[in-house]
């Protein structure tokens, strides 16, 4: 149960407690279990009543000029009053007080007009000061205010329908003097919540709930524009899918998929053309495999394998023929080696090696496609500094290009 929802439930409970105070105090004038006390003029000044026949007084009535002005009741059966009704000269309740924690001091105060409640105050931390105020119309609560931090500053506002059922609450969660969280209810149950998480005066998060008050969807405006750019979907309280608009076009171009609340797959339309061109698979929250359509042609041409979020190996279809002819190997996320199959026989015939700075230092070539190295080129600063012919009939020409310019 959310913090705001919990407070709303507390309000409902408090209203039930106030219902005890709304009732008219029991009539006891003709009760045979009553004891009457008189002054020296013979006027009644006090009455003690055993309303249950238990042999113990549970109601005390104070009189003035022969009329009851205060009725105290022991509702908790503690032997002392915990509820007090202040009466008008014609016997109607004008004010009621209740001691909820039975410490002998009232902590709920209700004001009446013609025995109908119009306002109630509650001391929630029992320090003698009211923290919650409830306002009534026609005997039904219509609005409530609360100092959530019990410091006298009102930061929570609740609103009720004609039947006294909660329909909306607002809370100032940042202490800025205005509401930043708005919750909406149907049949007393939470159905939607809007939040101004940055305190700018603009809502940037929206949450939606099912009939069981379980979160089913959440939308977020990360940009602060007031327009959602993140959409999260939930089942049984766990996230199953999240969509994001990373391009600011008002529609998602990235989708995350979850299983049991754990990220399993990510898909992205990197150009926003309506077609997925990047797919990632995750384990323990980190990517382990990535597929890319690098040319935006609707066909996967790059596959990367990762460990602990870092690339270990990458396969590339440089000719876009459905065959991965270039393989790259990485160390600590740094390119260390490349193997290239230039003739399409399924075996590499060019090997390139890179230093810690990512510069090529050596390239070996199988110019006769027999699986053996026939030519070696050494590099410094991106340029060939030496060429070694091991044994080859076809050894003329510069080093073969591993990544054609068209890729």
Full pLDDT tens readout for the chain, 407 residues: 344 334 444 444 345 444 444 444 554 444 448 999 999 999 999 999 998 888 999 999 999 999 999 999 999 999 999 999 999 999 999 999 999 999 999 999 999 999 899 999 999 999 999 999 999 999 999 999 999 999 999 999 999 999 989 999 999 999 999 999 999 999 999 999 999 999 999 999 999 999 999 999 999 999 888 899 999 999 998 999 999 999 999 999 999 999 999 999 999 999 999 999 999 999 999 999 999 999 998 999 999 999 999 999 999 999 988 999 999 999 999 999 999 999 999 999 999 999 999 999 999 999 999 999 999 999 999 899 999 998 766 666 677 766 544 34
Residues in the chain: 407
111 assigned to some structural domain: no
Give the three-class secondary structure for 30: coil
How far CA 265 is from CA of 18, 87, 222, 258, in Å, comes to 53, 70, 22, 7
Domain that holds residue 340: 328-407
User: Which pLDDT score, from 0 to 100, does residue 5 have?
Assistant: 39
How far CA 36 is from CA of 4, 40, 60, 80, 182, in Å, comes to 50, 13, 10, 18, 55
199 assigned to some structural domain: no
How far apart CA 324 and CA 50 sit, in angstroms, is 95
117 assigned to some structural domain: no
DSSP character string of 48-95: EE-TTSSSS--EEEEEETTEEEEEEE-SS-SSS--EEEEE-TTS-EEE
How far apart CA 40 and CA 55 sit, in angstroms, is 28
Which of the 8 DSSP states describes residue 284?
T
345 assigned to some structural domain: yes
Answer yes or no: are the C-beta atoms of 216 and 208 closer than 8 Å.
Answer: yes
In sequence order, what are the residues at sequence separation of 6 or more whose Cβ sits closer than 8 angstroms to the Cβ of residue 45?
A: 37, 38, 39, 62, 63, 64
What total number of domains does the chain contain? 1
User: Which pLDDT score, from 0 to 100, does residue 224 have?
Assistant: 84
Strand partners, 85: 71, 96
27 assigned to some structural domain: no
User: Which pLDDT score, from 0 to 100, does residue 391 have?
Assistant: 78
How far apart CA 54 and CA 31 sit, in angstroms, is 14
140 assigned to some structural domain: no
User: Which pLDDT score, from 0 to 100, does residue 340 have?
Assistant: 97
374 assigned to some structural domain: yes
User: Which pLDDT score, from 0 to 100, does residue 53 have?
Assistant: 87
User: Which pLDDT score, from 0 to 100, does residue 403 have?
Assistant: 58
């Amino acid at each position: 149960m959310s913090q705001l929802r919990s407070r709303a439930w507390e309000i409902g409970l408090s209203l039930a407690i106030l219902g005890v105070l709304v009732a008219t105090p029991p009539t006891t004038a003709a009760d045979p279990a009553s004891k009457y006390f008189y002054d020296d003029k013979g006027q009644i000044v006090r009455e003690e009543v055993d309303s249950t026949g238990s042999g113990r007084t549970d109601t005390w009535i104070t009189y003035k000029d022969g009329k009851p002005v205060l009725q105290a009741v022991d509702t908790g059966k503690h032997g002392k009053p915990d509820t007090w009704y202040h009466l008008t000269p014609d016997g109607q309740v004008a004010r009621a007080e209740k001691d909820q924690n039975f410490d002998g001091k009232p902590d709920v105060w209700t004001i009446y007009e013609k025995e109908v409640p119009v306002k109630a105050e509650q001391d929630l931390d029992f320090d003698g000061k009211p923290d919650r105020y409830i306002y009534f119309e026609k005997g039904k609560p219509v609005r409530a205010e609360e100092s959530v931090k019990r410091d006298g500053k009102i930061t929570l506002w609740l609103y009720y329908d004609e039947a006294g059922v909660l329909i909306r609450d607002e809370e100032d969660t940042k202490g800025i003097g205005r509401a930043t969280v708005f919750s909406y209810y149907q049949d007393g149950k939470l159905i939607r919540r809007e939040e101004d998480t940055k305190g700018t005066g603009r809502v940037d998060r929206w949450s939606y709930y099912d009939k069981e008050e379980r979160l089913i969807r959440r939308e977020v405006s990360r940009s602060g524009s007031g327009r959602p750019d993140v959409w999260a979907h939930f089942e049984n309280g766990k996230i199953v899918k999240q969509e994001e608009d990373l391009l600011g076009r008002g529609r998602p171009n990235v989708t995350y998929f979850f299983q049991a609340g754990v990220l399993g797959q990510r898909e992205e339309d990197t150009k926003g053309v309506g077609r997925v061109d990047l797919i990632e698979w995750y384990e323990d929250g980190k990517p382990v495999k990535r597929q890319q359509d690098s040319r935006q042609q609707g066909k996967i041409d790059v596959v990367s394998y990762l460990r602990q979020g870092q690339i270990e190996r990458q396969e590339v279809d440089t000719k876009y023929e459905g065959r991965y002819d270039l393989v790259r190997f990485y160390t600590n996320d740094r390119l260390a080696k490349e193997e290239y199959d230039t003739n399409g026989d399924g075996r590499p015939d060019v090997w390139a090696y890179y230093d810690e700075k990512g510069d090529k230092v050596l390239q070996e070539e199988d110019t006769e496609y027999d699986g053996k190295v026939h030519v070696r080129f050494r590099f410094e600063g991106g340029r060939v500094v030496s060429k070694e012919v091991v044994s080859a009939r076809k050894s003329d020409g510069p080093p073969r290009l591993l990544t054609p310019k068209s890729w």
